[in-house]
Amino acid sequence: MRGFLLVDKAEGVTSHDVVSAVRRKFGIRRVGHAGTLDPVCSGLLVLAVGPATRLLRFLALEPKEYVGTMRLGETTDTQDAEGEVVERHDVTGLTLEGIRSAAEAFLGETLQVPPMYSAVKIKGKKLYEYARKGEEVPREPRPIKVYRFDILSYDPPDAEFRVQCSGGTYVRTLAHDLGQRLGVGAHLCRLRRTACGEFNVEDARPVEDLTEADLIPPEEALDPMPVIRLPRPVAQLVQNGNLVRAPVMAPTEFVGFLGPNGELIAVAEETPDGWKPVVVLPPESSTTRKR
């Protein structure tokens, strides 16, 4: 059994809980995820099953897209509704147009300071370990990119929004920083991930409803990576880890090699001497769904 699953994660469970549930459901140990979601968040979680876990780094998972709700006028120590309110401000006078105008300042490439309640490591410890002891440590800003930050509606004190951003972006920090820019503070109340690259939550299923028929074959999940179907003798060379020469129409760092039956057998990178396999998959032992 190998391939990728699109899970619609419920609120209140961790990404690890979902991985454990899939392991139990299908009786398979090798299950990995392409980026976690906080327990308070719901939405799209991309999982890899079996040998496909070795392909996670090749998936096109950006940009990420989320929809959510932020509460203006209240700042919390965690930047979301799980934390304690540390500041309150009057939001009288705020308008939808004003919030939208302020949100435009976050578009494009910028730097973001990770929140104290996060898994970012400093001096070998995760930031939330410091935060739980009441400690705050200096954090270096990190580059992020925000493609869209749409304020959909405003029903004081809550604003509905949609954001499209690079991986590593803390959406609750975006909400917090927008509140600071508006001068009233804000925190994240609700967040749902709706897309990762070409993967969409509309194609996902709750973990309890998943079946083997929901597996996306590796050769489909790696799109838009170019793939080449190899004749049997050349495919055997690739499966043995040998370099091969193969025509690729467009410049690319990696290429997927398909066996004679159309299944993915390897991912290779270009070298001066040819295409070198960097991941070789074992022969397929079970049937996966063709979408």
pLDDT in tens, 180-198: 999 999 999 999 999 999 9
**Domains, the chain, ranges and CATH?**
3-58+200-216 (3.30.70), 64-196 (3.30.2350.10), 219-280 (2.30.130.10)
Q: How far apart are CA 12 and CA 244, in angstroms?
A: 48
The predicted-structure confidence for 18-53, as pLDDT tens digits, reads as follows 999 999 999 999 999 988 888 889 999 999 999 999
Task: Please report which helix (H) or strand (E) contains residue 151, including its range.
Answer: strand 142-155
Whether omega for the bond prior to residue 143 falls within 30 degrees of 0, making it cis, is no
Each residue's pLDDT, cut to its tens digit, for the chain (291 residues) gives 899 999 999 999 999 999 999 999 999 999 999 888 888 899 999 999 999 999 999 999 999 999 999 999 999 999 999 899 999 999 999 999 999 999 999 999 999 988 877 777 877 777 778 778 787 888 889 999 999 999 999 999 999 999 999 999 999 999 999 999 999 999 999 999 999 999 999 999 999 999 999 999 999 999 889 999 999 999 999 999 999 988 776 778 899 999 999 999 999 999 988 899 999 998 775 444 434
| Neighbour count for residue 152 (Cβ, 10 Å) | 13
Residue 107's pLDDT is 97
Task: Quote the CA–CA distance of 112 and 106 in Å, as a whole number.
Answer: 10
Residue 285's pLDDT is 56
Helix (H, G, I), strand (E, B) or coil at 80: strand
Backbone angles phi, psi at 217, to 5 degrees: -60, 145
Please report which helix (H) or strand (E) contains residue 98, including its range: helix 96-103
Which helix (H) or strand (E) segment holds residue 101: the answer is: helix 96-103
Helices (runs of H) and strands (runs of E) counted in the chain = 6, 17
pLDDT at 132: 81
Residue 242: what pLDDT?
93
| pTM exceeds 0.85 | yes
The residues pairing with 42 across neighbouring beta strands, listed in sequence order, are 192
> Which residue, 252, 88, 65, is CA-closest to 183?
88
Is 214 designated active site?
A: no
DSSP string, 242-282: --B----SS--SEEEEE-TTS-EEEEEEEETTEEEEEEEPP
Catalytic-role residue among 38, 77, 177, 214: 38
What pLDDT score was predicted for residue 283? Answer: 78
